[in-house]
Amino acid sequence: MTATTIKVDTALRDRLKAQAASEGLSLGEHIERLVQREERRLRMARLRAEIAAASPDALASYARETAELDAALASSGLE
């Protein structure tokens, strides 16, 4: 991994360092966690938007397919 420097306000840096220390993480590890959480939040927001925009037929089809898969898994013992 190649390191780099980013410029942030000193108060923000101190807050991030304190948060990292409270979790037993390095500052880099803490920032990585924050980025991963934000990426996940954005993915989930996109998914919620796509579900909200889906047609009733598409949602019904998804529900049928999910029920069929659940039934197949339950009968196979792979659940």
Q: What DSSP designation does 24 have?
A: T
4 within domain boundaries: no
66 within domain boundaries: yes
- Residue 76's pLDDT is 85
**pLDDT tens digit string along 10-50?**
999 999 999 999 999 999 999 999 999 999 999 999 999 99
20 within domain boundaries: yes
CA distance 67 to 33: 35
Q: What is the DSSP string of 34-66?
A: HHHHHHHHHHHHHHHHHHHHS-HHHHHHHHHHH
Q: For the chain, how many structural domains are there in total?
A: 1
1 within domain boundaries: no
25 within domain boundaries: yes
